[in-house]
Chain A
Amino acid sequence: MEVTVTTEADKPAPEQPEAEAKPEQRPSFMVLFGRYLTEANSVMVTIYSLLLAFLIGAVLLIVSDETVRGTWSYFFSRPGDALQASWEVVANAYISLFEGAILNFNTLDRMAAGTADVGDLLRPISETLTYATPLIFTGLAVGLAFRAGLFNIGAQGQLIFGMIGALVIGFSLSLPAALHIPLAVIAGAVAGAAFGAVPGVLKATTGAHEVISSIMLNNIAALFLVWAIGTNFMHSETRSELVTKPVDDSAALPGLLGFVDDSLRVNLALVIGIAAAVFVWWLLSKSTFGYRIRAVGFNEHASATAGMNIGRTYTTTMATAGGLAGLAGAALALGVGSTGITTNTALEYGFDGITVALLGRANPGGIVAAALLFGALKAGALSAQPEVPVDMSTLLQATIVLFIAAPALVKAILRLRAPRGGMVTLEAKGW
């Protein structure tokens, strides 16, 4: 490197120069790798966040189990009891999570004995992917908006409208599946986009903050859903409880593993989700629209000076984000909710999308990975009941995100070194 090009601004921060006092001698791969492991870069912070979260989860499992607590009361006379009981409760809990989310070893035994089939073996994975699918969409919806400097809290509402849009097309038309499915999916995306555009338009025209307006719109959407389900147009003709008509068979998303076992729920929406992630990646890195999103997200003043229309960028970004969340709604309406939607079908997928986007650092690839992780936690926790408290997955999610959002905390706890370019904290503008 030429000395002249280096400025005072780009010199490394004063804390770190000692690390490479002898640059002439190229360090070996192992040294570099070891250095990477002890540095607070974003990959290692993510990994350490996961480990720390599971560690805290373990402590809470120990503390919350009455029998184990009992063994700690005589720790000093027989420490072995307490340690063994603690180890067992933690190991059992995490093994059940794993078995519920990925692979159950008992099923292998039962298959050998002939009491289970391949479908049973694939069920945990199928459930993980089923829960992960809507999270991919909502994670992308929040993540894309992040890149434009917008905090899209409204994914939940956008998802609800997407769900209603897909459902209405799903039960009111009768078409061949090859037309019906795409049409219903698009209806979901359009409904979500229309609802998502509202906070964008409000921000562009009046300066109203998107966080405030999208929180309010979430409430509107949730209550609208309650009202809509009750209308004659949508309410189930055969059931008395608050549930909508089922969508036509021709609109229901086909299962991906239906050829193995009909009861495996993972469906075509997963493929659409992966495609959406690839699309968002392409949009951000290759298209002029994505260039504009990133420019506005980094520095709206310079973008405006370069002639970009900031308000229009906000509106189109929010509409696109809403469309992605709407696809999550369509996935639910035409997938797990194809027999009829209740007020409960949407769960908290929209809100969980915020944590997924944070964990994935607003990168499409990271979002897919984070969605899979959260889907696994959800599927694992549901199947591991009652041995593992159902709140365990929420708790782990929350702790992971806490650490991810505060890399300085992870760095301090583990005494990691500062990375070269400084630590990355994801944050939306204006907060």
Chain B
Amino acid sequence: MRLELKGLTKKFGSFTADDDIDLVVEPGQIHAVLGENGAGKSTLMNMLYGILKPTSGEILIDGEPVEFTGPGDAIAAGIGMVHQHFKLVGPFSVADNVQLGREHTRGAGVLSARAARKAVREVSEQYGLHLDPDAICEDLPVGVQQRVEIVKALSGPKTELLILDEPTAVLTPAEIRELLDIMRSLADAGTSILFISHKLKEVQSVADTVTVIRRGKVVAELEPGASETEMASAMVGREVALTVDKTPAEPGEPRLEIEGLRVVDDAGVKVLDGLDLTVRSGEIVGLAGVEGNGQTELARAVLGLVQPDAGRIVIDGRRADRESPAQRIERGLGYIPEDRGRDGLITEFTVAENIVLNQYRNEPYAKRGVVDTAAVRERAATSIAEFDIRTQGPAEPAASLSGGNQQKVIIAREFSRARRLLVAAQPTRGVDVGATEFIHSRLVTERDTGTGVLLISSELDEIYALADRIAVIYNGRIVGEVGPDTPREVIGRLMVGAEAGEADAGPADTEPQTPDPETSDEATNGGDRDH
């Protein structure tokens, strides 16, 4: 299918989300649309998929202008979409999810499980996507759930164009590689793919053409050979430093000492199993690992939200095991939670209220139990300026900020008081290039002022960019501590459970392959995606 957009424009009141967008997707081509959060990518896709009606401009499929009144029309025209947030019925089987909305029946409303299974098998075989039609979706790892979404999109009456909206945001590095392979083979089989992303590496590795959007306008058409810096600059509209400038670390005294930490969850699983880790002042320790190997519980245990079953946690030279989270925060523990919406912000609160969330009862923000609104506002105004938070003002609800700016609110909160130790979990998740650059440089400044930083990230790029020392977590224990120059393959192998010696000795030519299904199942299921 050849898809062409001509002068597509979408206005919301006085605000123009998409302005005169021209774009052509050739048959069998992977066309990447690159842009920061809020650039107008999702609006564009929603128009293509019939969810939004364009204000002006037209959509042409194989040269014929089309008009969609709903996703049904788009599906009928051969467009399939995989949303960033999956739209699966968790307790249903793969086959049931795929046939959702167009059930296979034996007539008279009686479902035909056999036909549904067969349909899934046919599509999976045709495109080489391995799926068990009888597996229950919520039990599957995220990467496999996404495969279900892809099969669902491909199972439309005549799907020839696939829209993938930020498909890698939730995937592990191995799953990402697998997805990119799938995309390549789908394109080779003739399916056109529109790939929405703000991750440069992926775009660079898979796209045939790259269209960059900024503030609703097409600002650049790039060839696949374009460098990451070139793409980033087009996206942000100025020169962007993709690497972080930093001097060698000067580690001082220990700020966080963890010995033999064991945490058993409600189901009786040892999520942390004898973990040892030390973070010193003036260094960034990067904790690498596939998500769901105990990172979440480690962060929560350091803050004091999870009670350890064994082991000890020493913060800044003093045992912290019996201290409440509030006491640890008072003592200078900074904490950037991995799940911003759940643990980091009260989205109904204003920006100002969020900035003082962990200091609201201390002077000068409150005196004798009464909040000093003026002082809170003043603090917020200072932070908004210092951290370049794009907001209409301190009184704006946090919910209406973009992801990157919400994250800056959290950073502003943690950095606006004295701290000795900082735990930063996924600090740039869902944050665009500009904000990521900013957050990274703040983390390095933080280190340089003598704070010990524990950086937990599922993105190896981030770990490499920042860490002075890399610890790899697997199954609730640290399986290796290596220097920042350790090759990716070595860390990749540690991440899937190979012993340190083994990983080093491993033959160099074995690319850190996709972990075998068993391992990745276990690894991803332990995670806390469904909070």
Q: In this assembly, does B111 line the interface, its C-beta being within 8 Å of a C-beta of chain A? A: no
**In the bound complex, do residue A8 and residue B42 qualify as a contact, i.e. CB atoms below 8 Å apart?**
yes
With A and B bound together, what is the CA distance between A269 and B337 in angstroms?
48
Known interface pairs A10-B400, A307-B324; A291-B353 also in contact (CB < 8 Å):
yes
Q: Which residues in window 345-388 of B have CB below 8 A to A?
A: 345-349, 353, 357-358, 360-361, 366, 369-371, 373
Q: How far is the CB of B333 from chain A (nearest CB, A)?
A: 9
With A and B bound together, what is the CA distance between A299 and B341 in angstroms?
9
Q: In this assembly, does A309 line the interface, its C-beta being within 8 Å of a C-beta of chain B? A: yes
**In the bound complex, do residue A8 and residue B37 qualify as a contact, i.e. CB atoms below 8 Å apart?**
yes
Q: In this assembly, does A298 line the interface, its C-beta being within 8 Å of a C-beta of chain B? A: yes
- Stretch of A11-19, A64-72, A237-245 lying at the B interface: A11-19
**In the bound complex, do residue B11 and residue A287 qualify as a contact, i.e. CB atoms below 8 Å apart?**
no
The 8 A CB mask of A289-316 against B (1 = contact, 0 = none) is: 1011011001101111111110000000
Known interface pairs A286-B371, A305-B303, A307-B325; A3-B215 also in contact (CB < 8 Å):
yes
Q: In this assembly, does B220 line the interface, its C-beta being within 8 Å of a C-beta of chain A? A: no
Contact of B38 among A8, A295, A301, A303 (CB under 8 A): A8
**In the bound complex, do residue A295 and residue B346 qualify as a contact, i.e. CB atoms below 8 Å apart?**
yes
Across-interface contacts of B399 in A (CB, < 8 A)? 9-10
Q: Which residues in window 16-47 of B have CB below 8 A to A?
A: 16-17, 37-38, 40-43, 46
Q: In this assembly, does A5 line the interface, its C-beta being within 8 Å of a C-beta of chain B? A: yes
Q: In this assembly, does A344 line the interface, its C-beta being within 8 Å of a C-beta of chain B? A: no
Q: How far is the CB of B61 from chain A (nearest CB, A)?
A: 22
Q: In this assembly, does A7 line the interface, its C-beta being within 8 Å of a C-beta of chain B? A: yes
Contact of A291 among B215, B326, B360 (CB under 8 A): B360
Q: In this assembly, does B292 line the interface, its C-beta being within 8 Å of a C-beta of chain A? A: no
Name A14's closest neighbour in chain B (CB-CB): B52
Contact of B324 among A7, A10, A303, A309 (CB under 8 A): A309
Across-interface contacts of A305 in B (CB, < 8 A)? 303, 305, 325, 335, 337, 343-344
**In the bound complex, do residue B370 and residue A287 qualify as a contact, i.e. CB atoms below 8 Å apart?**
yes
Q: Which residues in window 267-297 of A have CB below 8 A to B?
A: 286-289, 291-292, 294-295
Across-interface contacts of A301 in B (CB, < 8 A)? 342-343, 531
Q: In this assembly, does B158 line the interface, its C-beta being within 8 Å of a C-beta of chain A? A: no
Q: How far is the CB of B477 from chain A (nearest CB, A)?
A: 25
With A and B bound together, what is the CA distance between A156 and B52 in angstroms?
50
**In the bound complex, do residue A288 and residue B15 qualify as a contact, i.e. CB atoms below 8 Å apart?**
no
With A and B bound together, what is the CA distance between A21 and B366 in angstroms?
45
Q: In this assembly, does A232 line the interface, its C-beta being within 8 Å of a C-beta of chain B? A: no
Q: In this assembly, does A4 line the interface, its C-beta being within 8 Å of a C-beta of chain B? A: yes
With A and B bound together, what is the CA distance between A277 and B41 in angstroms?
48
With A and B bound together, what is the CA distance between A336 and B450 in angstroms?
68
**In the bound complex, do residue A289 and residue B337 qualify as a contact, i.e. CB atoms below 8 Å apart?**
no
Q: In this assembly, does B107 line the interface, its C-beta being within 8 Å of a C-beta of chain A? A: no
Q: In this assembly, does B402 line the interface, its C-beta being within 8 Å of a C-beta of chain A? A: yes
Name A289's closest neighbour in chain B (CB-CB): B369
Across-interface contacts of B17 in A (CB, < 8 A)? 8, 11
Across-interface contacts of A7 in B (CB, < 8 A)? 37-38, 400-403, 405
A residues adjacent to B (C-beta < 8 A): 1-12, 14, 17, 20-21, 23-24, 286-289, 291-292, 294-295, 298-299, 301-309
A-B residue pairs in contact (CB < 8 Å), sample of 5: A288-B370, A289-B369, A291-B360, A292-B360, A301-B342
